[in-house]
């Protein structure tokens, strides 16, 4: 049984940083397309960053490029999202995701095809 568990969310002031982590059981992150998505109240879930098992460069949505960085620790089977220069508009529930056989660009732009989701971790950025 696949399970994804996020941690690291919280309340931070604008300009601050947070690092989210997602650990997996029942699968290996290095074998699949993985990513981080977010959903703010009243808005649709959107892809923040995705990367496939063979991609050299992750796909970042425009609003976070240059501020957020995805990384993967294959030994710990953990996915990270380093978020710097946070803005109030980054406030959302953040979800870790895994897609068994997706193209990472397509996955990030089509949340409906994601195979596995974590439970989410709340990020709140105050102004």
Q: What is the pLDDT of residues 37-70, one digit of tens each?
A: 999 999 999 999 999 887 778 999 999 999 999 9
pLDDT bin (cut points 50, 70, 90) of residue 103 is: confident
Mean pLDDT, all residues of the chain: 95
The count of other CB atoms within 10 Å of the CB of residue 2 is 13
Residue 21 has pLDDT above 80, yes or no: yes
Rounded distance between C-alpha atoms, residue 6 and residue 23, angstroms: 7
What percent of the chain lies above the pLDDT cut of 90?
Answer: 91
What is the structure's pLDDT at 45? Answer: 97
Q: What is the dihedral of CA 105, 4, 92, 72, to 10 degrees?
A: -60
pLDDT bin (cut points 50, 70, 90) of residue 125 is: very high
Residue 115 has pLDDT above 90, yes or no: yes
Helix (H) or strand (E) holding 109: helix 104-109
**Torsion-angle region of 82 (φ positive above 0: left; ψ -120 to 50: alpha; else: beta):** beta
User: 20 and 27 in contact (C-beta within 8 Å)?
Assistant: no
What is the structure's pLDDT at 55? Answer: 72
pLDDT bin (cut points 50, 70, 90) of residue 102 is: confident
Rounded distance between C-alpha atoms, residue 60 and residue 49, angstroms: 4
């Amino acid at each position: 049984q696949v399970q994804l568990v996020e941690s690291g969310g919280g309340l931070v002031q604008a300009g601050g940083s947070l690092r989210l982590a997602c650990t997996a059981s029942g699968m290996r992150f290095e074998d699949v397309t993985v990513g981080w998505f977010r959903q703010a109240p009243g808005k649709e879930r959107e892809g923040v960053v995705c990367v496939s098992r063979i991609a050299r460069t992750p796909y970042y949505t425009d609003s976070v490029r240059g501020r957020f960085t995805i990384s993967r620790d294959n030994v710990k089977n953990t996915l990270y999202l380093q978020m710097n220069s946070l803005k109030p508009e980054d406030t959302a529930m953040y979800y870790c995701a895994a897609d068994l056989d997706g193209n990472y660009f397509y996955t990030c732009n089509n949340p409906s095809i994601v195979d596995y989701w974590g439970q989410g971790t709340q990020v709140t950025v105050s102004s």
